């Protein structure tokens, strides 16, 4: 649940992005919400980030990205595609131009696309073998199967699933046989759990730490050692965004 101020700020940012193509300034956001100081805007944006509605691109000025809108806004905020917004009926909210948060189906040829599930609230992600198989993800041209996952728990972007083999991440709550959902990405922040490709030959699921010009891949089990490589030997292939365990 969002507070009224969080809700109003998110809708204002989304509308401003849609109409102008750029993020509103903190001054514009402050005035739009009737706040006295910009510090209140900072707190609201941080709360929206934590709840997965908003993303800040910290290395660019005025760079905000709306990841999703509140469910009530998605359900009631826009006219159906076949019906213009000005014919949506009296009292209807203005169209937002927002598309529900779904997984794109246009994966590259190396990563087969997600496909529709029989469950309208889910998507089928390609399931690529076991993470300790010793092959780069790209080498697995054909998924072993497909894995149903709720679209509401995924952000925008390309995703795939992997089955975990081994106990190197047990202290992070990741057990042998679990399925992890990976968002395809080539970058990651320190401390994030990533799929890392080493020397174009070995793939592993570990916590990433940058140390100068080196990258440390940390297990979450004291029985396993941290491995440190020159940065050029390691490629991030995705960041873990979810875990599923069957009982």
Distance CA 43, CA 33 (A): 13
> Tokens 């106990």, residue?
167
Find the catalytic residue in 5, 82, 109, 168: 168
Burial (CB count within 10 angstroms: exposed 0-12, middle 13-18, buried 19+), residue 34? exposed
Find the catalytic residue in 23, 206, 214, 235: 206
Q: What is the 3-state secondary structure (H, E, C) of 61-98?
A: CCCEEECCCCHHHHHHCCCCCCCCHHHCCCCCCCCCCC
Beta bridge partners, 64, equal 56
- Does the annotation count 168 as an active-site position? yes
| Distance of alpha carbon 246 from the chain centroid | 23
Distance CA 174, CA 16 (A): 40
**What residues are labeled active site?**
168, 206
């Amino acid at each position: 649940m969002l507070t009224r101020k969080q809700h109003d700020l998110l809708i204002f940012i989304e509308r401003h992005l849609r109409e102008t193509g750029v993020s509103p300034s903190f001054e514009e956001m402050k005035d739009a919400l009737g706040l006295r100081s910009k510090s209140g805007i900072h707190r609201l944006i941080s709360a929206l980030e934590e709840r997965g509605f908003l993303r800040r691109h910290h290395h660019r000025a005025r760079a905000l990205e709306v990841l999703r809108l509140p469910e009530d806004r998605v359900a009631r905020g826009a006219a159906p595609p076949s019906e213009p917004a000005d014919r949506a009926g009296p009292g209807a909210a203005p169209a937002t131009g927002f598309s529900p948060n779904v997984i794109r189906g246009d994966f590259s040829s190396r990563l087969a696309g997600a496909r529709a599930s029989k469950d309208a609230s889910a998507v089928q992600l390609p399931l690529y073998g076991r993470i300790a198989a010793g092959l780069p993800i790209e080498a697995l041209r054909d998924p072993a199967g497909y894995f149903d996952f709720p679209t509401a728990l995924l952000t925008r972007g390309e995703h795939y699933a992997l089955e975990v083999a081994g106990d190197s991440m047990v202290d992070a709550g990741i057990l042998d046989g679990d399925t992890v959902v990976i968002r395809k990405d080539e970058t990651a922040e320190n401390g994030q759990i990533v799929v890392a490709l080493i020397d174009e030959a070995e793939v592993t699921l570990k916590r990433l730490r940058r140390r100068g010009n080196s990258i440390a891949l940390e297990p979450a089990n004291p029985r396993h050692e941290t491995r440190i490589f020159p940065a050029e030997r390691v490629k991030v292939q995705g960041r873990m965004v979810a875990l599923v365990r069957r009982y």
